[in-house]
């Protein structure tokens, strides 16, 4: 066996050290990087000598060594220059006496690699190496943050845009979309400011092929994780969060239960002088949080969920998963809440469709029809002391149309039909006649 001898003019260890530094800075495993380098060198050897070439590549990251050996058989007449070399040519590079049939090993060193393979192959190898490293980086980022989904990270804002905010965490770019921000909070965001957010979703490929990491401050899970951070009993599993209903930035209801009879779940979450809950409220831009002790009894759970309002009675329909709640007259506004928020959150928290009735008789607050009426019309009706569906139906349609310019006979008729359906009632013929007469007068 003979070996071609060539002087080494390049410090191989410095190159390996550069690879090792790259692995460290880009958070790439050294063994994985070694495999990528070997694969890249194998690619250009095959490009140069063909797929039948017999070669060996040794990359030793620890010793700082790179070696490429091309093995060919010494023959009298060369039929395949890829796998064979003539005796005359082999003896030019060897001081040893060679014989036909022996193996001749040529070492392709780093200082003559460009001469051996040419500029085009070296450029291709460089591009391949960089591409593979970028792919490994992307995989590392995806794998790291896929395991962090559902966890809170603390990042730094580096760009505030119209529809989203870009956040850096460990030099990784993440996105906080507008719909995942707490309403009315964006004005507080400034470049270089630290921000807490939940890793909501990690997608394999985003802009430029990079993994897309979506953050959230508006999700229920973000609030749940804040409770885990601030309240040791929740982190330790002594207290469990059973449900969350939330209007981000405005109000939230959190149901908790304790597995230890000695621990009050609501008191533990509030903390001494409210210090625990206040830290969460401040993080959420002063979002009001109602803490509710969970109960497996639906009536009790719904009653607590409607707090601070006090209810008189609750009738449960398990078939339709609905509840009819009788509320004292002076508690109706509290039970409904601003724009129906309290009853809506209570319904979401308990999973029951909640219908509120006044104690004195069946009625529904106009807020329950906000989708049909709109906030502006509700306010105009309240100025006329029309606060409930029954009061709307009891009022003279002509009077309402006269006082509110946006009301038309057809619109009033449509609204009355919707409200009467809620009470399982039908329209009076007299009202239909009067509205039809109004429409005729308006046309004339």
Task: Write down the pLDDT at residue 141.
Answer: 84
- Specify the long-range contacts of residues 330-335, CB closer than 8 Å, at least 24 apart: 332/356, 332/358, 332/365, 333/365, 334/308, 334/309, 335/306, 335/309, 335/311
Cα–Cα distance, 132 to 78 (Å, whole number): 37
Element (H, E) at 340: none
In order along its 444 residues, the chain shows pLDDT tens digits of: 544 443 333 344 455 555 666 556 666 666 777 777 777 777 777 777 777 888 887 777 666 667 778 888 888 888 888 788 888 787 777 767 778 888 888 777 655 555 555 566 656 666 767 777 777 778 888 888 899 999 999 999 999 988 899 999 988 899 999 999 998 776 678 888 999 999 999 988 755 567 899 999 999 999 999 999 999 999 999 999 999 999 998 999 999 999 999 999 999 999 898 899 999 999 998 999 999 999 999 999 999 999 999 998 898 988 888 888 888 878 888 888 887 889 899 999 999 988 887 776 667 778 888 888 888 888 888 888 888 887 888 788 888 888 898 888 888 888 888 888 877 777 777 778 778 877 776 554
On whether the CB atoms of residues 361 and 353 are closer than 8 A, the answer is no
On whether the CB atoms of residues 167 and 173 are closer than 8 A, the answer is yes
Burial class (CB in 10 A: 0-12, 13-18, 19+), 443: exposed
Task: Give one word for 336, left, alpha or beta, with left for phi > 0 and alpha for psi -120 to 50.
Answer: alpha
Task: Write down the pLDDT at residue 119.
Answer: 62
- Percent of the chain at pLDDT > 90 equals 30
- What are the beta bridge partners of residue 68? 57
For 63-102, write each residue's pLDDT tens digit: 666 777 888 888 888 888 878 888 878 777 776 777 888 8
Cα dihedral: 281, 286, 292, 294 (round 10): -60
Taking residue 358's Cβ as centre, other Cβ atoms within 10 Å add up to 19
CA torsion through residues 417, 418, 421, 423, sign: negative
Contacts of 282 (CB under 8 A, 6+ apart): none
For residue 147, give the DSSP letter: T
C-alpha angle 129-132-135 in degrees, rounded to nearest 5: 150
Residue pointed to by tokens 């013929």: 429
C-alpha angle 412-413-417 in degrees, rounded to nearest 5: 115
Cα–Cα distance, 244 to 290 (Å, whole number): 10
Residue pointed to by tokens 């989904």: 149
- What are the beta bridge partners of residue 172? 169
Taking residue 69's Cβ as centre, other Cβ atoms within 10 Å add up to 15
How many Å from the N-terminal Cα to the C-terminal Cα in the chain?
A: 114
Taking residue 385's Cβ as centre, other Cβ atoms within 10 Å add up to 8
Cα–Cα distance, 423 to 363 (Å, whole number): 8
For 111-137, write each residue's pLDDT tens digit: 555 555 556 665 666 676 777 777 777
CATH of region 2-144, choose from 3.30.1480, 2.60.40, 3.40.50, 1.10.10:
3.30.1480
Query: CATH 2.40.50.140 spans which residues of the chain?
Result: 149-218
Distances, alpha carbon 366 to alpha carbons 119, 126, 363, 391, in Å: 79, 70, 9, 9
What number does CATH give the domain 149-218?
2.40.50.140
For residue 10, give the DSSP letter: S
Query: CATH 3.30.1480 spans which residues of the chain?
Result: 2-144
Cα–Cα distance, 349 to 161 (Å, whole number): 34
How long a stretch of residues is the chain?
444
CATH architecture of 220-294: 2-Layer Sandwich (3.30)
How many CA within 13 A on the CB side of residue 117?
Answer: 28
Contacts of 216 (CB under 8 A, 6+ apart): 176, 180, 197, 198, 200, 222
For 227-273, write each residue's pLDDT tens digit: 999 999 999 999 999 999 999 989 999 999 999 999 999 999 998 98
Residue pointed to by tokens 């969970």: 294
Strands (E), 98-248: 103-107, 152-160, 164-169, 172-177, 194-203, 212-216, 239-247
Taking residue 428's Cβ as centre, other Cβ atoms within 10 Å add up to 12
């Amino acid at each position: 066996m003979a070996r071609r001898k060539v002087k080494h003019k390049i410090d191989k260890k410095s190159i390996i050290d550069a690879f090792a530094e790259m692995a460290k800075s880009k958070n790439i495993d050294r063994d994985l990087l070694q495999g990528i380098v070997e694969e890249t060198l194998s690619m250009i050897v095959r490009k140069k000598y063909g797929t039948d070439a017999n070669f060996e590549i040794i990359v030793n990251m620890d010793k700082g060594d790179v070696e490429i050996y091309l093995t060919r058989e010494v023959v009298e007449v060369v039929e395949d220059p890829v796998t064979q070399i003539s005796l005359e040519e082999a003896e030019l590079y060897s001081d040893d006496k060679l014989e036909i049939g022996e193996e001749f090993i040529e070492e392709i060193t780093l200082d003559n690699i460009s001469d051996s393979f040419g500029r085009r192959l070296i450029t291709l190898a460089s591009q391949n190496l960089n591409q593979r490293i970028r792919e490994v980086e992307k995989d590392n980022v995806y794998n790291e943050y896929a395991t962090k989904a559902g966890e809170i990270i603390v990042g730094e804002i580096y760009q505030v845009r119209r529809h989203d905010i870009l956040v850096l965490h460990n030099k990784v770019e993440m996105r906080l979309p507008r719909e995942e921000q707490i309403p009315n909070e964006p004005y507080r965001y400034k470049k270089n400011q630290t921000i807490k957010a939940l890793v909501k979703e990690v997608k394999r490929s985003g802009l430029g092929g990079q993994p897309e990491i979506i953050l959230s401050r508006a999700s229920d899970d973000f609030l749940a994780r804040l409770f885990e951070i601030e309240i040791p009993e929740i982190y330790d599993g002594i207290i469990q969060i059973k449900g969350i209903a939330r209007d981000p930035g405005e109000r939230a209801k959190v149901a908790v239960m304790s597995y230890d009879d000695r621990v009050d779940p609501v008191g533990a979450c509030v903390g001494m002088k409210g210090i625990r809950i206040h830290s969460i409220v401040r993080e959420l831009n002063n979002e009001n949080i109602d803490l509710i002790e969970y109960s497996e009894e639906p009536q009790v759970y719904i009653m607590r969920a409607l707090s601070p309002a006090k209810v008189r009675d609750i009738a449960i329909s398990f078939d339709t998963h609905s509840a009819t709640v009788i509320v004292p007259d002076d508690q109706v506004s509290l039970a409904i809440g601003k724009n129906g928020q309290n009853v809506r959150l209570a319904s979401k928290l308990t999973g029951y469709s909640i219908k509120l009735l006044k104690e004195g008789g069946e009625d529904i607050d106009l807020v329950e029809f906000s989708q049909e009426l709109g906030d502006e019309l509700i306010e105009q009706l309240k100025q006329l002391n029309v606060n409930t569906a029954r009061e709307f139906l009891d009022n003279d349609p002509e009077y309402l149309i006269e006082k509110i310019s946006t009301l038309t006979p057809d619109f009033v008729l449509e609204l009355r039909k919707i409200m009467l359906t809620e009470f399982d009632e039908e329209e009076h013929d007299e009202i239909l006649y009067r509205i039809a007469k109004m429409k005729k007068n308006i046309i004339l």
